Amino acid sequence: MNARALTYASSWLGSVGSLTLFAARAARDLFRPPFEFGEILRHLYELGARSAPLIAVSGLAVGVVLSMHTRATLERFGAESMIPAGLAMALVRETGPLTAGLLLAGRIGAGIGAELGAMRVTEQIDALEASGVDSFRYLVVTRVAACLLAFPLLTTILNFAGIFGGYLAETLSSGMSLQLYMQRAFAMIDFPTFVPSTLKTMVFGFIIATVSSWLGFNTTQGTEGVGRASTQAVVLSSILLIIVNVLLVQAIFVMFPSVR
Amino acid sequence: MSETPHPPAVAFEHVTTVLSGRTVLDDVSFAIQPGEAVCVLGKSGTGKSVTLKTIMGLMTPDAGRVFVEGEEVTDAPRHALSEIRQRLGFLFQNAALFDSISVGENVAFPLRRHTDCDDREIDEIVCEKLVQVGLDADYAKMPSELSGGMKKRVGLARAMVLDPPILLVDEPSAGLDPITADEIDDLLCGLRDERGTTLVVVTHNIPSARKIARRMMVLDGGRIVAEGTAAELDQSDLTLVQEFMKSKGSG
């Protein structure tokens, strides 16, 4: 029993160490030439632009639902006029970044895990190396860079879609005009509210891209392994993202006390 | 003044590789001279593909040293390894084509990475290589649209697109019909005879090995148990070698 526990613990620690080294190498190589601009652009389109419809539609739905809940609560206190501001604050500070992160962990994490896993088991990664190409730079660093750039933009899209969804719900309930809604929604959104919470999604992007790439790179056991890498990429990215989010929120509170 | 002798195209010095606790290569040493065509024979799991991947630097041995044209592959820094790999072509057992790009782009890939050729020049070279493997009409197809034999021929075109002096070939006839397998053997013989390309071919197919190789090495239990020309191995006393040499397996 003890031997099995030791083996398990040693294997777990080995995986943590391997993932940490993988992430550290990705972070280092992001700033070291040569840069694969063509591949980064391709991934920006594949991982970023092609995620925009999912993000926009989800944001719209989240906005409608948040608005409905907020109205139900604030109506009791006669504070309906606070609905746009409350909804915008909730979205921009936390709901938007976290929802975008989790949605993208599903779409991008699964995609990267499956794609790199399939490339590993079909020896395409070896073929890249055999062609004299640094497969880590070509496959991992480019995806990490694309995620770092795309996540804040996608989060902003989700935030705006959510605020617009809130407007749709609000105008159907109370007939509030778009101009008045937007005026109230953005009244309390300032720099320390918007920028840190949006930029923290770059960390989410880094986590999702590195964890999924690591799992894909270490895929074994054929197609079954590819499926496992894809699933684990979503699960592990999501868990890490939620945990790291707690630390980031705390860090933002320390660096921007006015956000509290 | 005496001429400096050429270093071997490929050399192993006491190479040992252990995978999952099993010794796959056990103190293996050999040298392959430039222009030589060598076939590595052996039962499944005896370290033939590991030998090729070790030459390419895709696997690092636990002990020993590997040289390509006199340059050490083991422990070579990243940029040096990349330069060495440009002098090696590798045909993978399952071709390992990049499935997100077309046949033409697969073959063009090494050219785009390692030469200053413009698009027109790259197109010309790619078409020339695809003509050589009989697939010039399939330039725009995706790998998923090709049969196993066609994929292998595209893989061969990609492996030889930079005209490397050394070509490593893993199971060229595995899973192919005899006619396609024979066509690939002919292509390899053409490279050997016309370009003087050094060939290191892993195969189970003895007729194919007899056709391609000037020398054969038989691996068993991680060691080279027999080495020589086909005629020499035909006379071997070892049962394993006799069984291999009498076989007509098609890989």
ipTM exceeding 0.85, yes/no: yes
The answer to whether A132 and B114 have CB atoms below 8 angstroms apart is yes
- Chain A residue with minimal CA distance to B91? A127
How many Å apart are CA A16 and CA A12, to the nearest integer?
A: 6
Q: Does B234 touch chain A (CB under 8 A)?
A: no
pLDDT score for A4: 86
pLDDT of B204 = 85
Which helix (DSSP H) or strand (DSSP E) does residue B35 occupy?
A: none
Specify the DSSP class assigned to residue A91: I
**């002098």: which residue's tokens?**
B87
Give dist(CA A141, CA A153) in Å, integer.
Answer: 19
What span, in angstroms and rounded, lies between the C-alpha atoms of B83 and A39?
Answer: 22
Q: What is the mean pLDDT of each run of 10 residues along chain B (251 residues)?
A: 75 94 93 95 88 94 95 90 93 93 96 93 95 90 92 93 95 82 89 93 90 93 91 88 77 46
* Average pLDDT taken over every residue of chain A: 93
Q: Other CB atoms closer than 10 Å to residue A25's CB: what's the count?
A: 15
How far away is chain B from the Cα of A132, in angstroms, using its nearest Cα? 4
Q: B13 pairs with which residues across the strands?
A: B65
Nearest to B96 among A123, A133, A134 (CB): A123
Distance from CA of A118 to the nearest CA of B (A): 10
- In the prediction, which pLDDT does B3 show? 59
pTM here? Answer: 0.89
pLDDT in tens, A59-94: 999 999 999 998 888 888 888 888 999 999 999 999
Whether omega before B61 lies within 30 degrees of 0, making that bond cis, reads no
Using a CB-CB distance cutoff of 8 angstroms, which residues of chain A are in contact with residue B85?
Answer: 129-132
* pLDDT at site B19: 92
**Average pLDDT per consecutive 10 residues, chain A (260 residues; last block may be shorter):** 85 94 96 92 96 97 94 84 91 95 96 96 94 94 97 97 96 93 91 91 97 95 91 96 95 84
Residue B32, judged by CB atoms within 10 A of its CB (0-12, 13-18, 19+), counts as buried
Mutate to test the interface with A, among B79, B85, B93 (most CBs of A within 10 A): B85
> Which residues, 6+ apart, have CB-to-CB distance to A64 below 8 Å?
A165, A166, A168, A169
Q: Which of B29, B97, B96, B92 lies closest to B64, judged by CA? A: B29
d(CA B212, CA B216): 10
Please list, in sequence order, all residues whose beta carbon lies within 8 angstroms of the beta carbon of residue B10, skipping any fewer than 6 positions away. Answer: B31, B32, B55, B66, B67, B68, B166, B198, B200
Cα separation, B219 vs B214, in Å, equals: 17
CA distances to A56, A176, A182 from A171, in Å: 19, 5, 12
- From the list A131, A129, A130, the residue with the least C-alpha distance to A140 is A129
Q: Is A130 on the interface with B (CB under 8 A)?
A: yes
Three-state DSSP at B92 gives coil
Token representation of residue B212 = 């391609």
The pLDDT of residue A2: 81
Q: Within an 8 Å CB–CB cutoff, is residue A126 touching chain B? A: yes
Best of B55, B109, B166 to mutate (most A CBs within 10 Å, chain A): B109
pLDDT in tens, A191-215: 888 999 999 999 999 999 999 999 9
Residue B175, helix vs strand vs coil: coil
